[in-house]
Structure 1
Amino acid sequence: MSDADSGRFDDLDLVAVRDGLRGWYETDHREFPWRETTDPYEILVSEVMSQQTQLGRVVDAWEGFLDRWPTVEALADADRAAVVGFWTDHSLGYNNRAKYLHEAAGQVCTEFDGEFPQTPESLQELMGVGPYTANAVASFAFNNGDAVVDTNVKRVLYRAFGVPDDDDAFEQRASDLMPDGESRLWNNAIMELGGTACEQTPSCDEAGCPWREWCHAYQTGDFTAPDVPTQPSFEGSRRQFRGRVVRALSEHGELELDNLGPRIRVDYTPDGDHGRDWLRGLLEDLSEEGMVQLREREGSTVARLQE
């Protein structure tokens, strides 16, 4: 971080900056049902669902998931194929996230006696829970997290306070800003700021951004921001075909390759570029992840969802 950038941040009135964001968030913010709970299971489900899906679309899926599996014990006891099928039906991204969520529920029940671990470090012991998700659950369920740094937070810090596009710098400044013992409110608030007032195309005045007084971008009109990775096209992607495999096996049960193939892509031909060899490779990946079972029967390969 340059001396100029450090000086700009060090000169901030942190009390006023913090009070401004708190007041803005508490006065008006988007209402999502997972913001109304401190149940770590419900929050974990929301975090995993939100990894690849817009928040507005997550609400119905989250509510439907919890209606079907209302507790961590219910999810642990569920049939994994049903959980994966739900994930696919609601277009929630990579199906292995459903598998990991199911396995994490089992861990909570068997390894933690039904009680969720409460720190970011211990939450990472759960299957599929990385540093970001662990910190979010610790923050929102137990008010026991560190400062969250996601794409929205990086954009806010870069624009408002001149924090350079460097992960260590973002982590340090996000931590400096967050008041002690307030990770639940603070992390919700700063992510909300980045998700509403300080989007890629900002709406500073319309959203009443509470940091306009200190914001370098607002004062200069330069609203550039760190590069945001683009999401690979879903149409025609391997991820799309994996989802079709799971959906077809959920609907039809056990299928031979040549019965499954045409349900996955219209140009499937057994000996073509997108034929048996291509489909077998797709299925072997899913098998290695524990999502699909493969077996040979009378000279044919047969696939079904892992039970």
Structure 2
Amino acid sequence: MTERDDAVSLGEAHDLEAVRDALVEWYEADHRDFPWRRTDDPYAILVSEVMSQQTQLGRVVEAWEEFLERWPTTADLAGADRADVVGFWTDHSLGYNNRAKYLHESAQQVESEYDGSFPESPDELQELMGVGPYTANAVSSFAFNNGNAVVDTNVKRVCYRVFSVPDDDAAFETAANELMPDDRSRVWNNAIMELGGVACTQTPRCDEAGCPWREWCDAYASGDFTAPDVPTQPSFEGSRRQFRGRVVGTLREYDELELDTLGHRIRVDYAPDGEYGREWLEGLLDDLADDGLVTLERGDSRAETVARLRR
């Protein structure tokens, strides 16, 4: 795909008002109805954003609803046993357990540092544990209509194809913020992510999805639908993530276990002196201890090491 001259802004090359109106009208006419799009509760939105980081949106809905039923407010989550929160994360296969830990800690911050009220700006939201620029912008946008442009993989793909924005993070951020109308971050960020999620997908569905930007789209005009490479998510099956989750789940059930007993319970091919043996398991446990999820009582030998879930 031929890249445009970086000196030419999107506003100089296109009628931005028409571009913006076309996308918002398309989104408001029909879009996927996720429950977190029906609320402006920053806590509920934060939970949805954290869950969505490693899980397909269709699977997030049930987990999100169950999570909020169990811990409906930041006060409820802040007062919860962290092991229960991590256990919920593991049981619902929501990805890295430290995301549950950070969500729990951020709820405690909201209660202790912000008197139960969420900060509203992206910069302030990044003070919460585990909340980076993307999540902060999303929460600020969807809860308070106060965010900058959200730049995820979908938005990058749209900008690259439609406006030939170079495959560069700074260029994507500049273009996304230029495209976004003032004081409309809630609807705009939902709309442009929806465009990338249902129309400008890796295999484009321009006509089928009625893409509102076809008349401005460089890719549609040229037939070249190249897009930046999208990193693939490592397989969960057999991963350290999976076994970290099994460790937490097993210790929730048994409270404490010696190293070899734990090893045999989390994988059938555990062999104390083998590739997946005591050294491998201690590495997992050390990681979980660093995350504040387990404690280790080391004996005179590795075999006598006892792992406990931190309460």
**Same fold by TM-score greater than 0.5:** yes
AA matched with 2:308: R
SS state of the match for residue 213, structure 1?
Answer: helix
Cα-Cα RMSD: 1.5
Q: Is 1:216 paired with 2:218?
A: yes
Between the aligned partners of 2:255 and 2:4, the Cα distance in structure 1 is 63
Q: Is 1:164 paired with 2:166?
A: yes
Q: Could you say which residue in structure 2 is the equivalent of 1:102? A: 104
Conserved? CA contact 1:292–1:305, under 8 Å: yes
User: What is the 5 A alignment of 1:1-307?
Assistant: 4=5, 7=8, 9=10, 10-296=12-298, 300-307=304-311
> Residue by residue, what CA displacement relative to the aligned partner does 1:108-163 show, whole Å, maximum 9, x if unpaired?
00011111111100111111111111111011011000001110000000000111
Between the aligned partners of 2:147 and 2:8, the Cα distance in structure 1 is 27
Between the aligned partners of 2:253 and 2:84, the Cα distance in structure 1 is 11
Between the aligned partners of 2:175 and 2:242, the Cα distance in structure 1 is 38
TM-aligned CA distance change 1:5 to 1:197, over 3 Å: farther
> Residue by residue, what CA displacement relative to the aligned partner does 1:259-306 show, whole Å, maximum 9, x if unpaired?
110122211111222111211111011101111111146862111221
Conserved? CA contact 1:147–1:174, under 8 Å: yes
> Residue by residue, what CA displacement relative to the aligned partner does 1:69-119 show, whole Å, maximum 9, x if unpaired?
000000000000000000000000000000010010000000111111111
SS state of the match for residue 242, structure 2?
Answer: helix
Conserved? CA contact 1:293–1:303, under 8 Å: yes
SS state of the match for residue 214, structure 2?
Answer: coil
Between the aligned partners of 1:217 and 1:5, the Cα distance in structure 2 is 18
Between the aligned partners of 2:3 and 2:84, the Cα distance in structure 1 is 53
The alignment-based identity, stated in percent, is 73
Query: 1:11: how far off?
Result: 1.8
Conserved? CA contact 1:21–1:190, under 8 Å: yes
SS state of the match for residue 304, structure 1?
Answer: strand
Conserved? CA contact 1:154–1:170, under 8 Å: yes
AA matched with 1:183: S
Between the aligned partners of 2:170 and 2:95, the Cα distance in structure 1 is 29
Between the aligned partners of 1:52 and 1:22, the Cα distance in structure 2 is 27
Conserved? CA contact 1:5–1:162, under 8 Å: no
Between the aligned partners of 2:20 and 2:163, the Cα distance in structure 1 is 14
Between the aligned partners of 2:134 and 2:160, the Cα distance in structure 1 is 19
Query: 1:3: how far off?
Result: 5.5
SS state of the match for residue 293, structure 1?
Answer: strand
Question: For structure 2, which runs of at least 5 residues remain unmatched after alignment?
Answer: none
Deviates most, 53-62 or 262-271: 262-271
Deviates most, 154-163 or 266-275: 266-275
TM-aligned CA distance change 1:143 to 1:8, over 3 Å: closer
Conserved? CA contact 1:292–1:303, under 8 Å: yes
